[in-house]
Amino acid sequence: MALWGMVIDLDRCTGCQACVMACKAENNVPAVGAKEARRGRIISWMQVLTEEEEEHGGEVKRFLPRPCLQCDNPPCTKVCPVYATYRNPEGIVAQIYARCIGCRFCMAACPYNAKYFNWYRYQKEAPGQNPDVSVRSKGVVEKCTFCHHRLQKARERALAERRELAPGEYVTACAEACPARAIVFGDLSDPGSEVFRLARSPRAFRLQEELGTRPKVIYLTEGEGRG
Amino acid sequence: MADPADTRDAALLFPIELTGRGFYVTVGLLSLLILWGAIAYWTQFDEGLGVTGLHQPVSWGFYVTNFVFFIGISHAGTLISAILRLSKAEWRRPITRMAEVITVMVLFIGAGQILIDLGRPDRMMNIIRYGRYQSPLLWDATSISAYLTASIVYLYIPMIPDIAILRDRVGKRKLLYTVLALGWQGTEHQQKVLNRAIAIMAVLVIPIAVSVHSVVSFVFSMTLQPMWRSTIFGPYFVVGAIFSGIAALIVAMLVFRKAYGLHGYLKPIHFRYLGQLLLVMSLLWFYFTFAEYLTAYYGNEPEEMHVFWAKFSGPFWPFFWGMVLTNFVIPVLCLVRLGRRTIGKVLIASLSVTVGMWLERFIIVVPTLSNPRLPFGEGIYFPTWVEWGELAGSFALFALFFVLFTKLFPVISIWEIREGREVGLKEVEERLLTYLPDTAEPRLAEPERGW
Amino acid sequence: MSRVTGAPDRMVRALQWAMAGLAVLFIGGIVVWIIHLIRTAWQLQDVPSASIGISLVAIPVFLTLLGVILYVFVGLLGDRGGR
């Protein structure tokens, strides 16, 4: 069985936010409006975090694109009281919007703040939305699913054409959109895949590795060419 | 034992028999606050949790704080009354009933906070249908329902002889009292059954109460978040719960003492003993707090220190130092010498602790969330009128429940007071004699065998 | 036995036994619920050990509570019947 994962090369990331926009369009992530945004309620499954580098007195910024890290040992699924979030056999941490009771325990438990809450009903179903992704109601938690609907589609297509799912056939929207090709997506259990190779690079690290959450989003540190 | 002709304790039946204007004014005022809470909840139900001040990353705020706080208050009750009963403390007699009432009432309010907190209250039943025991929230659900059942039983059983008195003496609500009295006639067999049941419940309720606030703390300590993930959270929360419980009990006792003229029953000595208990709990609470924060400070882990400094000198400093002041400085200053003006000092200390323990719950819940591990920037939390409304409404609902209870049942156990007069005095004397060295065969204290 | 209320004695007793019945239903319901949760966890292979571990403590506690309640009801009501 596949183990979907992502490698993000921080050396290539320019902080252009193309991944963020692609994700929003692909997954019907609502725009909450300026007033709500000021109150800290932006929903952004993929978020580019910025950090000022201490050495250069704030002149140099670091970018850290952060989707849901799809932990293999997710702290959020453990605490869900109703099985609304769980790790599926292919390693994707799923969220069942129709089951979620909105207790926000998973948000409190996630060390990466990768879960978002619908404080209001931010949008209704409307033309122009991606029909493959459900529109979330108010009062439920939502999160990045590695564009899981794309996997389902690709798999159905392969099934209809009576063949195996080819590598590269299932890619997330953010990886597809990245102009710097900083985001690589693929099967971590396939030794031939690029993510498999990159995940073993000496530059590879995981966020908050010491917590033992075993994220499947792997970062490559900035190389020596910087500074 | 329940002699209907005995009119000595008529003062205890007075609030049930007669209702004055003060009662209606109180109920009216409380209803206004409850109305505020109801409007706030309706707004939130209609529009979504967006009407609160919650956001990313502070996704838990007042409601979870209230949940921990109210469940904490519930330990007043049953736990204290059980410990006093088991230790045969004779001064417990006018106190136990009120302690038990607080527990039952406040548990409903506390459990209700979680429902208020839900984004989709319409899917509440999912917890029953699809609940999963890996989640500490389900531990809470189980533990709190056990505690609620136990404390209702523990309130009801010792009340049966009093209900029988009401059945025989009060002209109102005959059917209710007759049914609830369970045919109590005070026969020897009935008394044996009752005393045995009370003894079993007193033993059973203590571990259940301890489990309740331990699993409430586990909601936080089972996560990986800085300043939440702590092994002492279980006992720390239990100590805080008993601490706030005693404070709430003292406040309730003083209110009803004044309102119903119970000065003859709730004497300064009762407040002095409870005040000393409160002092001990204050010191214990401080010790736990000190141990908790020193460990974090010494370890000096960056993420923990973010939260630590946010509490110590960052945006949450008024709450943190306010908590130290109200939970430790004021109570210790008030309670360390209780010679004169006992009641006033104990009242100030208790009110201070009630506020302080709410702040303590707040300072545990919010700063951790507002200082995420990744560089998101701090999230500051300002509650809106909705959250204040729910807070006011919750307190008012608790007070209303309590007031209504006192109109239906005696707030001080009549039969236990009588038992104290008739049996207790003699028992204590006999018990005391068993503590003393035997004087039947006077013997000098010389060793039997020379060593 | 002195009649203290206008309500018929049988109705009072029926209400009292109904209270006991309610307690049985309530605690029985909780026990059934806990068993339902174990079954769900087992079917989904979703950490059934947690459910079983907790139920090992919780179910006996609830049954003990029910035992005390029934003991009081039977002890008090039974005595009245004997008089």
* pLDDT under 50: residue ranges of chain B: 1-2
User: Hey, of A51, A80, A95, A101, which one would you mutate to test binding to chain B, going by the most B CBs within 10 A of its CB?
Assistant: A101
Question: Would B297 be classed as within a structural domain?
Answer: yes
Which chain C residue has the Cα nearest residue A87? C46
Q: Which residues of A touch C44 (CB under 8 A)?
A: 83
Q: Look at residue A226 in the predicted model and tell me its pLDDT.
A: 47
Mean pLDDT of the A97-119 span: 95
Confidence of residue A216 (pLDDT cuts 50, 70, 90): very high
Q: Which residues on chain A are in Cβ contact (under 8 Å) with C46?
A: 83, 86
Query: B56 to chain A: which residues are within 8 Å by CB?
Result: 40-42, 107, 113, 116-117
Contact B102, B402 (CB under 8 A): yes
**Within 10 Å of residue B267's Cβ, how many Cβ atoms?**
15
Q: For residue A77, is it within any domain?
A: yes
| AA identity, residue B418 | R
In chain B, how many domains are there? 1
B114 contacts on A by Cβ (under 8 Å): 103
Of A83, A104, A141, the CB nearest to B132: A83
The answer to whether residue B77 is domain-embedded is yes
In a domain, B133, yes or no: yes
Put simply, whether A48 touches B (Cβ < 8 Å) is no
Residue B340, pLDDT score:
82
**CA A8/CA A219 separation, integer angstroms:** 5
Instruction: For residue B383, give its domain range.
Output: 11-419
Which residues from chain C sit within 8 angstroms of residue A86, using beta carbons?
A: 46
List the CATH number of the domain containing B254: 1.20.1630.10
Give the gap in angstroms from C-alpha C75 to the nearest C-alpha of chain B: 6
pLDDT over threshold 60, residue C1: no
Whether C33 has a pLDDT exceeding 50, the answer reads: yes
In a domain, A87, yes or no: yes
Residue A88: its chain C contacts at CB < 8 A? none
The answer to whether residue A227 sits within a structural domain is no
What are the angstrom distances between the C-alpha of A107 and each of A76, A79, A123, B335? 7, 10, 21, 42
Is residue B449 situated within a structural domain? no
Query: Residues, chain B, total?
Result: 451
CATH number at residue A151: 3.30.70.20
Shortest distance, CA A189 to any CA of chain B (angstroms) = 28
B265-305 confidence digits (pLDDT tens):
999 999 999 999 999 999 999 999 999 999 999 999 989 99
A78 touches chain B (CB under 8 A): yes
What total number of domains does chain A contain? 1
Interface of A with B in 11-40 (CB under 8 A): 36, 39-40
Reported as a single tens digit per residue, the pLDDT across B82-110 is 989 998 888 999 999 999 999 999 999 99
Residue A225 belongs to a domain: no
Q: Where are the beta strands (DSSP E) in B211-370?
A: none
User: Would you list the DSSP string of B292-334?
Assistant: HHHHHHHHT-HHHHHHHHHHHTSTTHHHHHHHHIIIIIHHHHH
Q: What is the mean pLDDT of residues A168-183?
A: 94
> In this structure, is residue A226 part of a structural domain?
no
**pTM for this structure?**
0.93
Closest chain C C-alpha to B149 CA, distance in angstroms: 8
Residue A214 lies in a domain: yes
Residue A75's pLDDT band, with cuts at 50, 70 and 90, is very high
Cβ pair A140:B119 closer than 8 A: yes
Determine the Cα–Cα distance for residues A108 and B436; give it in Å rounded to an integer.
Answer: 58
Q: Is B238 on the interface with A (CB under 8 A)?
A: no
Position B425 scores a pLDDT of 87
Cβ partners under 8 Å of residue B292, min gap 6: B230, B232, B236
- Tell me which residue range forms the domain holding A147: 4-220
B101: CB partners within 8 A, 6+ apart: B77, B155, B402, B405, B411
**Residue listed under structure tokens 């109703």:** A82
Q: Contact A114/A146 with Cβ under 8 angstroms?
A: no
The CA distance from C9 to the nearest CA of chain B, in Å, is 10
**Chain C residue closest in CA terms to A85:** C46
Nearest-angstrom CA–CA distance, B323 and B363:
8
